[in-house]
Amino acid sequence: MIPPLLAVLLVTAAGTVSCSPRRHPLDPLSAVELTAVRSAVLASPLVPDRPISFHYVGLDEPDKADVLSYASSSSRRRPVLPRRAFVVARAGGRSHELRVDVTNTSAPSVASHAVHRGAGFPRFTTEEMAAAAGLPPSYPPFVESVRRRGLNVSDVGCGVFSMGWFGGEAGHHQAGGGRLTKMQCFVLGAATANFYARPVEGVTLVVDLDRMAVVGYRDRVVHPVPEAEGTDYRAAKVGPPFTGPVTAPGVVVQPEGSGVKIDGRVVRWANWEFHVGFDVRASTVISMASVYDGDAGTRRQVLYRGFVSEIFVPYMDPEEEWYFHVFMDAGDYGLGVSAFPLQPGADCPANAIYMDGLYANADGRPVKAENAICVFERYAGDVAWRHTEAGVPGQLITEVRPDVTLVVRTVVSAGNYDYTFDWEFKTAGSIKCVVSLSGILEMKATSYTHVNQIKEDAHGTLLAANTVGVYHDHFVTYHLDLDVDGTENSFVKNTITPMRNTGDPATGGADTPRRSYWTVRREVAETEADGQVNINSSGGPADLLFVNPSKKTSVGNEVGYRLVPAGATASSLLADDDYPQRRASYSKKQVWVTPYDKSEKWASGLYAEQSTGDDSLAAWSRRNRRIKEEDIVLWYTLGVHHLPYQEDFPVMPTVSGAFELRPSNFFERNPLIRAKPPSNANFPNCSCHI
């Protein structure tokens, strides 16, 4: 279940922040522009039905060539690019797609209009989920089910769950007339805030969201509702006394002030410059990331646009109340609308600078998301590079450079789960993306109170009496439009290959006693089929590179960046013919590479809710387009098979996975070789000498 929408305001923290007098072409739509979009859609005769519900309103970004031309122009000669919005709105049981020109917000106009006639629906809005939640208490069969479980209707709340797709003709949703969803319920009340731990198992409602009416109902099985005791996570309920580990408080000290400068939504720090956007479906969007090359004396492109495209979460219980729990968190609900205010000093350190998010609600009116993004310099005690040399007679030479990084963070509370998304920029030229999972498990009520009672597959772990944490997966897919020193790039797979020393120099051997070694086999991907990689397969590539063949170092190496996975490399184990897998067939492999297409943003398709997989990353890639020396996009999926354990109850300690985009022959040498050594500041510390 998704928490209710919050109306929020912009908060700015310490750091250098200024309002840019001229908008960046990739800035998200402003409040004025969103209001103009709403006005244009409501006034358009192309959408005559009422009411109109706005499900997606986002920037219809200018053509990439125009944005790059804008960026390369001097500030005085930069052209004013058109400002357009892309809108998906529901009216009269149909999904309308509109492009609205808001270059002149006083006279907005609808530039194009189409009606979606295929499978799938746009994301749920918070308003319609709230309206659906009001239906069960007045539905007599539901009231009777609650009564016979010994519960009060006033203590039970229900949430909207996507039905998914389990067969049927593509496009049948539109022809069938109903936009259906399922609802399941939990015991609320003052006893605990953790209502996810108290499901009303066995009860499922089917709701027609267009008619806003209950059209189906089933009460299949009755299990005891788990007790509230021990499920709450709030400090006031957990303690005092607080018996957990105690750590000493710490502070971030920056004696010379913050090194971060933010102009509008453009962030400049150390050798990095990039733009921070926001989208109701993706949440944070990083664009136009470039790194300054001190040796070359110029700024060089790395990433044109990057964001979380989808989070696919299939649960592993095939029973009636659970088989359809196969969520597309971005496409079903939206990540941006679930980016709630970050907590200063906890979610983000004291030196963080906060930025807002902005999106349209179901009525089309603008809503600000307070403290949706934080930007901070991280001092973690890590080392950027070092060496101690004891081989010089009479000397002990030590050179160390501390590793300070810049983090852009968003936390998305997608119902029961909390995802922390970090974009970490390193002075060595790397971009590290980290996904951290916390929050609350989806739990199933059961009659079991001890594992000794379980005689069949429980589809999860018994966490407490009457409580099973269901097995599930998390697949987080990133859209990464890499432009490594330019737009024409290639994808290279370097595979480590074991070799036998033949003793013959003509075949690469040597006349020595050595019997074996390994070398690297280099393969340049020609088409999309070559760009699909399961990094867990035996004998797979050791390095995955994105290179610019037209740019070379002084010794002739192609400049590039390589993908470095750092944990969370699971891929889907569902059968290829299973319906959830058909919708998210891209989850079988972690790496996909496609040619750039502005319309291909969402791995699950534009209409992910009840989609059939016909408009998805895997479907696009079946065209097997050329990717060699083209403008290409990397799609990378972090995957986690989640087997719940008792430590995950009642709230889950954070688990993280990551990947890094690391320069590889991009610079002529270590770009930090001329980094200034740290000053010998006399910071207080304690030492223990033996």
Q: What is the CATH number of the domain that holds 71?
A: 3.10.450.40
Bridge partners of 609?
121
For 32-60, the pLDDT digits (tens) are 999 999 999 999 999 999 999 999 999 99
Asked about 329 being catalytic, the answer comes back as: yes
Nearest to 642 by CA among 196, 313, 322: 313
* Burial of 451 per CB tally in 10 Å (0-12, 13-18, 19+): exposed
Give yes or no: 417 in active site. yes
Query: By C-alpha distance, which of 432, 534, 552 is closest to 484?
Result: 552
The CATH number of whichever domain residue 619 belongs to comes to 2.70.98.20
Q: What is the dihedral of CA 620, 626, 628, 629, to 10 degrees?
A: -100
| 611 within some domain | yes
Residues 100 and 146 in one domain: no
Mapped onto helix, strand or coil, the DSSP state of residue 137 is helix
Biggest CA–CA distance in the chain, Å, is: 90
Residues 500 and 604 in one domain: yes
User: Is residue 144, in this structure, part of any structural domain at all?
Assistant: yes
Residues of the chain with pLDDT under 50: 1-13, 20-21, 170-176
Asked if 302 contacts 291 with a C-beta cutoff of 8 angstroms, the reply is: yes
Domain tally, the chain: 3
**What was the pLDDT predicted at 10?**
26
Residues with Cβ within 8 Å of 577's Cβ and at least 6 positions away in sequence, in order, are: none
Quick one: 329 and 228 in the same domain?
Answer: no
Whether residue 502 sits in one domain with residue 365: yes
Whether residue 655 is contained in a domain is answered as yes
Give the active site residue among 315, 333, 359, 417.
Answer: 417
Determine the Cα–Cα distance for residues 608 and 639; give it in Å rounded to an integer.
Answer: 19
Are residue 272 and residue 354 in the same domain, yes or no? yes
Look at residue 100 and tell me if it is in a domain. yes
Flag whether 385 is in a domain.
no
Q: Is residue 678 part of a domain?
A: no
Inside any domain, residue 550: yes
Preceding omega of 199 cis (within 30 degrees of 0): no
Which residue of the set 329, 418, 481, 483 is catalytic?
Answer: 329
Q: Which pLDDT value is given to residue 123?
A: 97
546 vs 663: CA distance, rounded Å: 10
Query: How many other C-beta atoms can be found within 10 angstroms of the C-beta atom of residue 251?
Result: 8
Same domain, 171 and 293: no
The reply to whether 419 and 290 lie within a common domain is: yes
Q: How many CB atoms lie within 10 A of CB 565?
A: 17
In a 3-state reduction of DSSP, which class is residue 384? strand
Helix (H) or strand (E) run with residue 421 in it: strand 417-426
In three-state secondary structure terms, 445 is strand
Do 332 and 202 share a structural domain?
no
- Whether 111 and 190 map to the same domain: the answer is no
- How far is residue 274's CA from residue 265's CA, in Å, rounded to a whole number? 9
Whether residues 502 and 434 share a domain: the answer is yes
> Which residue reads 């005689």 in tokens?
455
Residue 285 to residues 135, 477, 510, 560, 607, Cα–Cα distance (Å)? 36, 14, 52, 23, 20
| DSSP, residue by residue, 562-591 | EEEEES-B----S-TTSHHHHHTGGGG-SE
Q: Which domain holds residue 175?
A: 126-237
Strands 261-263 and 213-219: unpaired
Task: Decide if 684 is inside a domain.
Answer: no
Take residue 402 and report the two structure tokens written for it: 């501390």
DSSP track, 530-555: GG-B-TTSTT--SEEEEEEEEEE-TT
Ordered strands of the 443-445 beta sheet: 443-445, 467-470, 460-464
Whether 172 and 284 map to the same domain: the answer is no
Same domain, yes or no: 280 and 227: no
